[in-house]
Amino acid sequence: MTLTERTEQPAGTRRPALRLRGIRKAYGPVVACDAVDLTVHTGEIHGLLGENGAGKSTLMKILLGLVPRDDGLILHHGRPVAIASPHEAMALGLGMVHQHFSLIGPLTVWENVILGDSGRIDRAEACAQVETIGKRYGLPVDPTTRVDRLSAGERQRVELIKCLRRDPSVLILDEPTSVLTQAESAELFTVLRRLVQTEERAVILISHKLAEITTATDRVTVLRRGRVVFEARTRQTSPQELARQMVGREVSLRAEGAALGLGALPVDGPEGTAAAEPATAPDPAVPATPTTTSEPAALRLRDVTVTVGGITVLDQLNLDVRAGEIVGLYGVEGNGQATLGDLLCGLVVPAAGTVELAGAPVDLTRPGALHRAGLGIVPEDRHRSGVVLDMSVAENLAMKSLGDVSGRMLLSRRKMHAVAQRLAAEFNIVTPSMDTPVRSLSGGNQQRVVLAREMSANPAVLVAAQPTRGLDVGAIEDMYQRLNRAAADGVAVLLISTELEEVMALASRIAVISAGRITGVLPTREATAERLGMLVGGVTG
């Protein structure tokens, strides 16, 4: 890990590369940023922390000239600058690794990399640059391949290379690790550390993961509701402190702490979770982990094989989830979890194998069959397959059970609202009204909408894919409680996650997926970092 690099930074002595003074940005009624001050020094990694919708991205977009600011001053090396366009930002040496929409698939790597600068094209030179930068920072990628042929990780590299090639004085990364494995993240941080130390750059790192912030940054600023609420040297603060500042209240950093990467593995991993369980599984009548049981598994995947474009993504995958237990499906990103999620969403049909609910196989070719058979799912990418952003909260809550909200032939607005009201209260979804488009809800609340809809059909099986990705502490806490309660109420819960601590904290059994196969299943108590590591590596245990 990057612990070794977390050496002392005499950050005080450094001159500020960038000062933001009283930055304000309002989207109509929503104030995304409100009088934000931020100072970034060269030679330091500056963490930017905040709940969903705190205004982090907006602030960065302002910095990059992608969004015009309503008010405020930007000082670059002490000089006030009006950054009106991405070009100006670039000229000032501000580079950003975006999460979204910044690579063009059909173009080659080198074409993407030189996109945005000026002057005549020199292919050879561009390719050379890509390679040298790749070597220098350990980001290997072939400059002549088309980007849409690259994996998520590789694309991230291209993004970085693209930034670094411009030799930015300030480098901004918006939640860069959300798709990276821990190893990859670690590498990334090493690179970043080298950047700031040896090359006099400043880095702004946006993240939800306290662990990352605490390990990788020198300074940290916390945004809440668009305001700066806390600013400190990372060494002089604690995860608890940060979490509290972020959410604005005390948070129990037990399980959710784990999700934030605080459970220091492997030492007290199991115990930590063991301690967590009684607290979160209130009803002892239903044991969270039925050890032996005769009744058929609530969810059973039998030899499920899925091939996408020739490649076998799921390879004879077998998995059982029994009523009342939480099974964690752990694995590194890109080992088939996403496809498994799509499969259980009814989006892909397996080439072979069956999905059985309560012992009965489900015909996956029939849309909605899984839902009818009693499977609820919180998909990995809610925007893609969870909600319809431009439809109202009420509509999103009703969309899977239209029958319940319609009269003889027409839909009943009244019924729809009634249902929505109930669910909103029950799952405390924070929304101006039931007619608000889901788009304008914060990430956490969008997630709650999905969960509410799925739970409202009181399913026998609940699949939660990366349920806390992109959520803030408060939301995570809530999510965990609900998952545990569901299990306690006898729902079979399958938790698909790339966060080891999350799995350790919630699941009673951990199944490890690697290259589309289950390489092993073991009770959480027996799960040690070593064993899991081997399984993740594909070494069947």
Partner 1 sequence: MSMSDNISTILASGIRLSLPLAFAACGEYLAERAGTLNISIEGMMLGAAFASIATASMTGSASVGLLAGAVVGLLIGVVHGNLSHRIEINTFVVGLVINALVLGLTSYLITISEFDTHQVAQVGIPVLRDIPIVGEALFVGRWPAFLILAIVPLTWWLVERSRWGLELRAVGENAQAADVTGIKVNKRRRQALMWCGVLAGLGGAYLAVGEVGSFNQNMTAGRGYLVIAAVIFGAWRLKRTLVGCALFGLADAMRLALPALGVTLNSQLLIVAPYLLALLTMLLFAAQHREPRSLGQPFERGTA
Partner 2 sequence: MNGRQAADGTGRRILARLAPGPANWRVVGVTILAVAAALGLSALLIAVTGGSPVASVQALFQGSMADPTAWSSTLLFTAPLLLVALGVCVSARSGFFNLGQEGQVLIGAMAATWVALRLAIPGPVLLVVTFLVAALAAGAWAGLSSLMYRFRGVNVVVSTMLMTFLAQQLVAYMVTTPWLLQESRIGTGTVSPQSNKVPANALLGSVGEYPNLQLNAGLLLALATAVAVAVVLTRTRWGFRLKMVGLNPVTAESAGVRVAALGGFALAVSGALAGLAGAVLLTSPVGTNRLQAGISNNIGWDGLLVALVARNRPLVAIPVAVLFGVLRSGGGFLAATGVPPFLVDVVKALLVLAFVAPPVVMNLISRRSTGRAGRIVSTPARVPEEAVA
What residues line the site for ligand ATP (CB under 6 A)?
Answer: 27, 30, 32, 50, 52-58, 121, 123, 440, 442-443, 470
* Residue 151 contact, options ligand ATP, partner 2, partner 1, none, Cβ 5-8 Å cut-off depending on partner type: partner 2
In the bound state with ligand ATP, the residue whose beta carbon lies nearer, of 226 and 269, is 226
Distance (Å, whole) CA 306 – CA 313: 6
* Cβ atoms of residues 358 and 299 within 8 Å: no
- Taking the alpha carbons at both ends of the chain, their separation in whole angstroms is 26
Distance (Å, whole) CA 445 – CA 422: 15
Q: Is 101 in the site for partner 1 (CB under 8 A)?
A: yes
* Residue 285 contact, options partner 1, partner 2, Mg ion, none, Cβ 5-8 Å cut-off depending on partner type: none
Q: How far is the CB of 273 from partner 1 (least distance, A)?
A: 37
- Total residues contacting partner 2 by CB under 8 A comes to 67
Distance (Å, whole) CA 399 – CA 55: 30
* Residue 115 contact, options ligand ATP, partner 1, Mg ion, none, Cβ 5-8 Å cut-off depending on partner type: partner 1
In the bound state with ligand ATP, the residue whose beta carbon lies nearer, of 246 and 504, is 246
Phi-psi category of residue 54: left, alpha or beta, with phi > 0 → left and psi -120 to 50 → alpha: alpha
Question: 12-31: which residues touch partner 2 (CB under 8 A)?
Answer: 25-28
Sole binder of partner 2 in the list 406, 436, 481, 528 (CB under 8 A): 406
Amino acid identity of 392? S
Q: How far is the CB of 58 from ligand ATP (least distance, A)?
A: 3
For 403, how many CA atoms within 13 A lie in the half-sphere containing its CB? Answer: 3
Sole binder of partner 2 in the list 9, 57, 214, 456 (CB under 8 A): 57
In the bound state with ligand ATP, the residue whose beta carbon lies nearer, of 369 and 389, is 389
Q: Is 178 in the site for partner 2 (CB under 8 A)?
A: yes
Joined tokens for residue 261: 């990467």
In the bound state with ligand ATP, the residue whose beta carbon lies nearer, of 24 and 302, is 24
In the bound state with partner 1, the residue whose beta carbon lies nearer, of 111 and 131, is 111
Q: How far is the CB of 187 from Mg ion (least distance, A)?
A: 23
Please give the angle made by the CA atoms of 200, 203 and 205, to the nearest 5 degrees.
165
Q: Is 391 in the site for partner 2 (CB under 8 A)?
A: yes
In the bound state with partner 1, the residue whose beta carbon lies nearer, of 48 and 114, is 114
Amino acid identity of 483? L
Q: Is 102 in the site for partner 1 (CB under 8 A)?
A: yes
Q: Is 87 in the site for partner 1 (CB under 8 A)?
A: yes
Amino acid identity of 200? E
The sign of the dihedral angle between the CA atoms of 137, 142, 148, 150 is: negative
Q: Which of 492, 536, 535 is nearest to 300 (CA)?
A: 492
Question: 153-182: which residues touch partner 1 (CB under 8 A)?
Answer: 162
Tokens 């369980």 locate to: 277
Q: Is 10 in the site for partner 2 (CB under 8 A)?
A: no
* Cβ atoms of residues 316 and 519 within 8 Å: no
Sole binder of partner 2 in the list 115, 152, 279, 352 (CB under 8 A): 152
Question: 232-261: which residues touch partner 2 (CB under 8 A)?
Answer: none
Beta-carbon count within 10 A of 101 CB: 6
Distance (Å, whole) CA 139 – CA 155: 10
Q: Is 90 in the site for partner 1 (CB under 8 A)?
A: yes
Helix (H) or strand (E) holding 112: helix 109-114
Please give the angle made by the CA atoms of 331, 150 and 352, to the nearest 5 degrees.
55
Distance (Å, whole) CA 541 – CA 498: 19
Beta bridge pairs of residue 506: none
Sole binder of partner 2 in the list 395, 499, 501, 502 (CB under 8 A): 395
Question: 69-108: which residues touch partner 2 (CB under 8 A)?
Answer: 70, 99-101
Q: Which of 164, 277, 157, 193 is nearest to 7 (CA)?
A: 193
Sole binder of partner 2 in the list 386, 444, 459, 520 (CB under 8 A): 386
Selected range binding partner 1 among 80-88, 214-222, 311-319, 516-524, rule: CB under 8 A: 80-88
Q: Which of 159, 44, 190 is nearest to 97 (CA)?
A: 159
The sign of the dihedral angle between the CA atoms of 473, 177, 523, 355 is: positive
State whether residue 318 is helix, strand or coil. strand
Applying CB under 8 A, which residues contact partner 2?
Answer: 25-28, 52-53, 57, 61, 67-68, 70, 99-101, 151-152, 174-175, 178-179, 308-309, 311, 313, 333-334, 336-339, 342, 345-347, 367-369, 371-372, 377, 379-391, 395, 399-400, 402, 406, 409-411, 439-440, 443, 466, 469-470
Applying CB under 8 A, which residues contact partner 1?
Answer: 66, 85-87, 89-90, 98, 100-107, 111, 114-116, 118-121, 162
